[in-house]
Every structure is written in structure tokens, then in C-alpha cells.
């Protein structure tokens, strides 16, 4: 068993990266997980990479990729008498005019919950009110939403709905490879891959000839993933590899996949910073549509207003870093976020603010 925090091992890994990089002209690697960005910033991994190897953050934070329109919809519902239940981070994301937190201070019934189950319990107890749970997240949280809806399917609960903002990660990776900025390889998300396994990456890797390595979240995991990618490039290969074998099984979490397939189907949806991503969302299947707030409430067309100067879209597409934003750390801070990337602990701007400004 290796010690993942062994300094000598880390030094050895950095030396290996430098050696392999000598045989490569230029390489741009993207990761799609806020936790990877955390590790990279916290341990200064970008600072130890050779100049020709770049690792950029992509759309890996569920709060960040939720569109302004979805936040404005939650606010519209709060204004129209619904009890909005949400995880803490979503509460602070600015909508076009206000955040859910500001709406709460104006008297709307907005409640922070730790899980969808807590929201369902509230709805069962307060039957005279209509509850909406803002369901966000990737393949990691969709099974929890799904399991709760399966449990409710045959129950007499008609005052609980979800604002479904769940999204699928591999389709946005395909979008980036196909139409996004130039990039050569992916560090695949560790958490998401515990659910999906390796299967979704094989076709992408084959089609776009892009090396893909699933990685864990210790510094040595990220360094090892970079080594594995560089090795593939040097050997003229493009394959899917799993660095995070202690958590990710090739087949993923079969039970969670079953729940997802029972409740959701793939749909095309926009992500913040992206146009519509083919199969980028999880839509509720017919049998579960009664929980979809869009089926229950006639929500008017909402036009988004993106804050002036905010470049969250470019950051989420890996085109820019937070330090390229004129508002970063001046007008936009974790206490006064202007865009979604400054709100959550998984958001690139928030992570940069936490570690890079020290």
C-alpha cells in the first residue's frame, strides 16, 4: 500500500512529469471536477508543472453550471407562494435580480435542507403548502433524487415537486471535445466515475482520440493522472485508464445506475456557459413527471440577465481563469458573489480566491 502523502513519492512524480514533458510539444488537459481544482490550487500543482503542460478547470461544479434561468425560476416560484427547499450553496447564487437568500429576507419561504428527504418530510407534514426541491448535481446526486421519487411514486403526496437541474457529465465532455476550446486530454471526475464507471468514456476516447484518466483527489492522484496522460501521449496512444482504483470500479455503481435509469432519461439541456448540450441533462420519465414543477405550474418564459463583466461562461468552458476576470477579488468575492463560480466550494473562482490570493 503506498502512502499517498509521501513527499519523496510526490517529488518523484513531479520529476517524472518533467521528464515526459520534454518529449511533448504542448499539452492542454482539462478536468471536470471542483474537487480536482481544489487539490490543484491547494497544493500548488499548476506551479510545479512544466510550461508546456497546462491543466485547466472545466464545468465541474454543479452549482456553477446551473443556469441563471433555473435560479430565476426558483425565485419566481418563491414569489408565487411555493416553499423553496434547497441546498445551502444554491441559496446564495445570484439570479438576474436577486438570490434566494435575498428573497427569504423579503419574506419568501425559502428553506435550506441537507437532502431531498428532508424536503419531502416537510411536505408530508405541511400538506397545506406546496414544496419545491431544487434538485442539482451530476450523476452523483441524481440517484438520491431518483430513490426519493421511487419511494414517493405510489404515495398520496401531491404537494411535493422538484425543479430538476440534474446534469450528465460525459455529454458535456463530448461537447467540449467537439465544439469547445482546444484541449488534448481529460482528467475524468472521480466522484462521477464511482457511479458511471469507465464505460461512458470509452466511446469518447475512441472517437476523439483523447487520453482520459479517472483520478482521485489527493495530490499524488492528480500527479499520477498527469503522468498517465503524458505517457499515453508520448506512446502515441489514447485510452481510458483508472488511477482511482481504490474507489472507482470499471462497472461503476450498478444499483445507482439502475435508479437513474428507472427515474430519468437523457434530455438535451443548456448548461451555464454552454448552449444546449445533447443528452446533457436528466429528464424525468413519464411515470415520474407528476413531480416535475414544470408539469404542475405554468411558468412564464424567463429571460436571463448575465451580470456585466462576469466571465463564468468562459471559465466553465476552460477558456479563461478567474484571474482573467476584472471583477475577481474586487467586486466579486465569496461574501458578495457576482457569478455562480464564486459561490460554492466547488466553484473555480471561489477556489482561486481561497488559495491563490494568499
Residues that bind ligand SF4 (CB under 6 A): 310-312, 315, 322, 325, 327-328, 332, 338-339, 341-342, 349
**Closest approach of ligand SF4 to the CB of residue 273, in Å:** 10
**Closest approach of ligand SF4 to the CB of residue 74, in Å:** 19
Radius of gyration of the chain (CA): 21
**Closest approach of ligand SF4 to the CB of residue 98, in Å:** 16
How far apart CA 151 and CA 244 sit, in angstroms, is: 32
All three cell numbers of 39, joined, read 487539490
CA angle, residues 78, 84, 86, in degrees to nearest 5: 135
**Closest approach of ligand SF4 to the CB of residue 299, in Å:** 26
Nearer to ligand SF4, 152 or 321 (CB): 321
**Closest approach of ligand SF4 to the CB of residue 101, in Å:** 16
Nearer to ligand SF4, 303 or 330 (CB): 330
CA angle, residues 78, 83, 85, in degrees to nearest 5: 100
How far apart CA 230 and CA 172 sit, in angstroms, is: 23
Q: How many beta carbons lie within 10 A of that of residue 150, not counting itself?
A: 14
Nearer to ligand SF4, 179 or 324 (CB): 324
Nearer to ligand SF4, 224 or 325 (CB): 325
State the pairing for strand pair 131-137/110-112.
unpaired
179 CB-near residues (< 8 Å, 6+ apart)? none
**Closest approach of ligand SF4 to the CB of residue 50, in Å:** 27
**Closest approach of ligand SF4 to the CB of residue 65, in Å:** 13
- What 8-state DSSP symbol labels residue 275? S
- Residue of minimal Cβ distance to ligand SF4: 339
For 292-355, give the secondary structure using H, E and C.
EHHHHCCCCCCCCCCCCCCCHHHHHCCCCCHHHCCCECCCEECCECCCHHHCCCCCHHHHHHHH
Nearer to ligand SF4, 189 or 339 (CB): 339
**Closest approach of ligand SF4 to the CB of residue 41, in Å:** 14
Nearer to ligand SF4, 224 or 349 (CB): 349
User: Cell 468514456, residue?
Assistant: 201
How far apart CA 339 and CA 222 sit, in angstroms, is: 27
Nearer to ligand SF4, 14 or 310 (CB): 310
Nearer to ligand SF4, 130 or 350 (CB): 350
H or E element: which one contains 160? strand 160-166
User: Cell 452523483, residue?
Assistant: 140
283 close to 267: Cβ distance less than 8 angstroms? yes
**Closest approach of ligand SF4 to the CB of residue 338, in Å:** 4
222 close to 36: Cβ distance less than 8 angstroms? yes
Nearer to ligand SF4, 122 or 325 (CB): 325
Amino acid at each position: 500500500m503506498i502512502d499517498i502523502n509521501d513527499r519523496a513519492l510526490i517529488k518523484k512524480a513531479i520529476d517524472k512529469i518533467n521528464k515526459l514533458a520534454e518529449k511533448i510539444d504542448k499539452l492542454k488537459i482539462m478536468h471536470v471536477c471542483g474537487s480536482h481544482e481544489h487539490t490543484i490550487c491547494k497544493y500548488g500543482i499548476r506551479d510545479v508543472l512544466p510550461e508546456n503542460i497546462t491543466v485547466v478547470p472545466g464545468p465541474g461544479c454543479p452549482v456553477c453550471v446551473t443556469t441563471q434561468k433555473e435560479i430565476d425560476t426558483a425565485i419566481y416560484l418563491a414569489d408565487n407562494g411555493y416553499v423553496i427547499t434547497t441546498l445551502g450553496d444554491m441559496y446564495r447564487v445570484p439570479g438576474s435580480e436577486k438570490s434566494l437568500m435575498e428573497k427569504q429576507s423579503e419574506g419568501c419561504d425559502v428553506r435550506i435542507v441537507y437532502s431531498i428527504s428532508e424536503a419531502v418530510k416537510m411536505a408530508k407534514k405541511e400538506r397545506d403548502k406546496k414544496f419545491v426541491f431544487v434538485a442539482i448535481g451530476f450523476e452523483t446526486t441524481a440517484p438520491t433524487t431518483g430513490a426519493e421519487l421511487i419511494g414517493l411514486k405510489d404515495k398520496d403526496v401531491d404537494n411535493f415537486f422538484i425543479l430538476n437541474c440534474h446534469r450528465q457529465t460525459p455529454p458535456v465532455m463530448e461537447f467540449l471535445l467537439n465544439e469547445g476550446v482546444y484541449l488534448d486530454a481529460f482528467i475524468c471526475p472521480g466522484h462521477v466515475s464511482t457511479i458511471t464507471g469507465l464505460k461512458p468514456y470509452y466511446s469518447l476516447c475512441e472517437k476523439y482520440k483523447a487520453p482520459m484518466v479517472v483520478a482521485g483527489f489527493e495530490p499524488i492522484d492528480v500527479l499520477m493522472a498527469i503522468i498517465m496522460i503524458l505517457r499515453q501521449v508520448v506512446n502515441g496512444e489514447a485510452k481510458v485508464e483508472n488511477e482511482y482504483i481504490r474507489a472507482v470500479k470499471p462497472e461503476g455503481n450498478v444499483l445507482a445506475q439502475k435508479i437513474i435509469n428507472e427515474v430519468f432519461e437523457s434530455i438535451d439541456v443548456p448548461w451555464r456557459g454552454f448552449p444546449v448540450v445533447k443528452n446533457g441533462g436528466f429528464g424525468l420519465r413519464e411515470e415520474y413527471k407528476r413531480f416535475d414543477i414544470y408539469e404542475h405550474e405554468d411558468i412564464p418564459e424567463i429571460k436571463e440577465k448575465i451580470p456585466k463583466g462576469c466571465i463564468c461562461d468562459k471559465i466553465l468552458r476552460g477558456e479563461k481563469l478567474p484571474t482573467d476576470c476584472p471583477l475577481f477579488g474586487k467586486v466579486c468575492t465569496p461574501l458578495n458573489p457576482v457569478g455562480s463560480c464564486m459561490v460554492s466550494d466547488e466553484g473555480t473562482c471561489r477556489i482561486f480566491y481561497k488559495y491563490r490570493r494568499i
